[in-house]
Amino acid sequence: MDLLHPGTVWERNLRSLLIGAITVVTTAGTALAGPYYIVGGNTETEHPAAGALIYNNEQSCTGTLISPRVVLTAAHCLANFNSPQGHTFYIGNDANDISSGSVIDITELIPHANFTEDGNSYDIGLVRLAEDAPIEPVGFNTQTMDDGFIGQAPLFVGFGVTSGQSEDSGLKRSVNVPITSYEEDGFRYTQPNTGTCFGDSGGPAFLEVDGTLKVIGVTSWGDQDCAEFGVNTRTDLYTEFIQCVVD
């Protein structure tokens, strides 16, 4: 399926907008039947830089702290909002119990200026925090993706649901999945019944690059059943955009 095929946009949006409070902007109705989960994944207690985006006290997307006050996420997690009011960033492992971690107000939403709802390109964004986070940030990859990345298995981390029949988002989970191809705006995996799903949008794909753990992509979209493939936006293509905000 073409990375830029407009028919897949709603599938991408469902990865974040199916969750609770985000129904104020979703194009979806009720939850669809089928397997919506990170198959083969596990609950995650490490990688503290991977946190949850919260809107009106409900987990909506995932993001990664890449500097003391900047979080990397997906543009489609931010583009429908006119204000950062009600948005916070949760640092911890269980976003259903925010007292279990740290919560920092978000002061600015920065989706990529070229992102539109009718395409899958430029699905990358940043949020600015009101104060420094109490954890170490993780860097992002600036090395141009090439054939050497194919076959490597990044660790995908997110706070999404484990079933389309449930509303059990909020726990941090992770899974390793090999990269099968890289494309004009992203990279994808095609391992059946393994990967990210609703609520994982904007979350990191962690991989060691030159011996250092970095974010090489953010969860963007995939098939509607979260069972065939997933696509991540490549960070190496957006170095200037990210760095302008970080600096």
Q: Is 44 helix (H, G, I), strand (E, B) or coil?
A: coil
Express each pLDDT in 211-230 by its tens digit.
Answer: 999 999 999 998 887 888 99
pLDDT at 123 over 80: yes
Taking the alpha carbons of 213, 104, 85, 170 in that order, is the dihedral positive or negative? positive
The lowest-confidence range among 37-51, 135-149, 171-185 is: 37-51
pLDDT for position 30: 27
Mean pLDDT on 86-90: 98
Among 20, 109, 30, smallest CA distance to 73 is for 109
Q: Which strands sit side by side in the sheet containing 230-234, from one edge to the other?
A: 42-43, 173-176, 155-158, 204-209, 212-222, 230-234, 186-189, 181-182
pLDDT at 104 over 90: yes
- At residue 6 the predicted structure's pLDDT band, cuts being 50, 70 and 90, is very low
Mean pLDDT on 126-139: 98
Express each pLDDT in 42-80 by its tens digit.
Answer: 889 999 999 999 999 999 999 999 999 999 999 999 999
pLDDT for position 40: 57
Express each pLDDT in 234-246 by its tens digit.
Answer: 999 999 999 999 9
The DSSP 8-state label assigned to residue 103 in this structure reads E
CA–CA distance from 43 to each of 12, 101, 152, 157, 231 (Å)?
A: 23, 16, 21, 9, 22
- Where in the chain does DSSP place strands (E)? 42-43, 50-55, 58-67, 70-73, 87-91, 102-111, 125-129, 155-158, 173-176, 181-182, 186-189, 204-209, 212-222, 230-234
